[in-house]
Every structure is written in structure tokens, then in C-alpha cells.
Chain A
Amino acid sequence: DAMVIQNPRYQVTQFGKPVTLSCSQTLNHNVMYWYQQKSSQAPKLLFHYYDKDFNNEADTPDNFQSRRPNTSFCFLDIRSPGLGDAAMYLCATSRRAGTGLSEQFFGPGTRLTVL
């Protein structure tokens, strides 16, 4: 089935040690998103790609970077994780056409632990 895949599902890193989370999709959607979600909160958008155009949220720290080498893959790089970056990271995809946005599908998430 077409889907959004995130790897790994659980990631443990040390304080300050760079980490990369990956996302792939088989939906051929032109928009990909990265969200951060902490306990009992709504997902918080970090940035998104509309095709190759990168759109950063104003309050996303510089510590968070993203890459989208092709339509199917998108990466989240955390350059120097702090304890406050421990969270669930969600990837999502959507199709944006002239009529607007279509349904946004989420991956299962990667739970990041920072020691």
C-alpha cells in the first residue's frame, strides 16, 4: 500500500550529537512536512517542502535543518540536539494542486530521546 515511512521508529542520541531522521513516501505527493510533537500537544510544524521549495517556519530553531533530495525522500537533521528536542518527529505528505490542498497523511513518527 502507498504510505509514508519513517526510519528509525526510535532514536536515541547524546546531547550535542548530530542526528538524522528519514522519511520516504510512495504517494508521489509534492508536499512533505516535518512536525515536532511533544506529549499532549498538537503537532508543531517545523518546515515543509512544496516540490523543491523549502518553507521554514519563523520559530523553527536553526538547529533544525531539512533536505529533500527527490520527491520520495525527506530528511530532518538536528545539528546539536538538546534535552528540549526530545519529542516525537512526524513526517507528513500532501498533494497541492490548483484547487488547493488534499488530505495530509502522516507517517508513524520517530521518537527521539536525548541523553
Chain B
Amino acid sequence: GESVGLHLPTLSVQEGDNSIINCAYSNSASDYFIWYKQESGKGPQFIIDIRSNMDKRQGQRVTVLLNKTVKHLSLQIAATQPGDSAVYFCAENTGTASKLTFGTGTRLQVTL
């Protein structure tokens, strides 16, 4: 079936460096994508979203890039901080559905 997956289960970066978390999706009909941050014991927190008519969207310290040709999504975090340590999930939606399909998650560890 269609799925959304991540390449790396754990990413370790030094404080102050930039982080890049990747996500591959297989449903070519997907037209809406969301990145979530989940800290231990908490619900997923919306970070940033992007629709398929865009290839880049920026937020505060975060940028999402969408490459529809290769069905790839990435989340870039600038100047990574200890508070960024969490599990990051990508999720995708197709316009005809009311639900999201989640990727498996990447744990980001920020070292001092």
C-alpha cells in the first residue's frame, strides 16, 4: 500500500549546527505535507506544512523542502538547539481524504 517513510531513525547533531531530516513518500497523489515534533510524553506539535504547489516554505528556524519529482520531503532546522531534541514525524494527505499518513519518525539528538 501507499506509505510514508523516513531514511534515518536517529540523527545526532551538535548544538548550533543545522539539522536535516528526510522523508520519502510513495503516494504520488499526496498534495499536503506536515512536519510534527513530538517530545517525550507529549502529543505531536505542528511545526510547518507545505502544499504540493510549492517546493519550499520557511518558518522560524525551519524550512521544509518538497521535491515532487522524487517524492521527497525534508525538514531543515537552522542553528539546532537542545530544545529541538525530539522525534520528528512527516505526514502526508491526499486531497480526497480527511486523514494523514504518518512516517515512522526520526529521533533528533542534540549534543552540546
Q: Please give the residue numbers on chain A whose beta carbons come within 8 Å of chain B beta carbons, in ascending order.
A: 4, 6, 31, 33, 40-43, 45, 48, 50, 55, 90, 92, 94, 96, 100-101, 103-109, 111
Min CB distance A68 to B, Å, is 13
Q: Which residue of A lies closest to B31 (CB)?
A: A100
Q: Which residue of B lies closest to A6 (CB)?
A: B43
Of B11-19, B56-64, B76-84, B101-109, the stretch lying at the interface with chain A is B101-109
A106 to B103, CA, bound (A): 16
A40 to B99, CA, bound (A): 21
Set of chain B residues within 8 Å of A100, measured between Cβ atoms? 31-32, 51, 93, 95
A108 to B43, CA, bound (A): 4
Q: Out of B42, B95, B99, B103, which one reaches A33, CB within 8 Å?
A: B99
Question: Which range contains the number of B residues in contact with the other chain?
Answer: 20 to 34
Contacts A41-B105, A42-B103, A108-B42 known; 11 new A-B pairs at CB < 8 A: A33-B99, A42-B89, A42-B104, A43-B44, A43-B102, A48-B99, A96-B98, A100-B93, A101-B98, A104-B34, A109-B42
A40 to B105, CA, bound (A): 8
Q: Please give the residue numbers on chain B whose beta carbons come within 8 Å of chain A beta carbons, in ascending order.
A: 31-32, 34, 36, 41-46, 49, 51, 87, 89, 91, 93, 95, 97-100, 102-105
* A interface: dominant SS: strand
Q: Which residue of A lies closest to B104 (CB)?
A: A42
Tell which of B31, B32, B49, B100 has the most Cβ of chain A within 10 Å. Answer: B100
Are the C-beta atoms of B98 and A48 separated by less than 8 Å? Answer: yes
Set of chain B residues within 8 Å of A96, measured between Cβ atoms? 98
Set of chain A residues within 8 Å of B102, measured between Cβ atoms? 42-43
Tell which of B31, B32, B98, B103 has the most Cβ of chain A within 10 Å. Answer: B98
Set of chain A residues within 8 Å of B95, measured between Cβ atoms? 100-101
Set of chain A residues within 8 Å of B91, measured between Cβ atoms? 104
Q: Mind listing 19 A-B residue pairs with CB under 8 Å? A: A41-B104, A42-B103, A43-B44, A43-B102, A50-B98, A55-B99, A92-B43, A100-B51, A101-B93, A101-B95, A103-B49, A104-B91, A106-B45, A107-B43, A108-B42, A108-B43, A109-B41, A109-B42, A109-B43
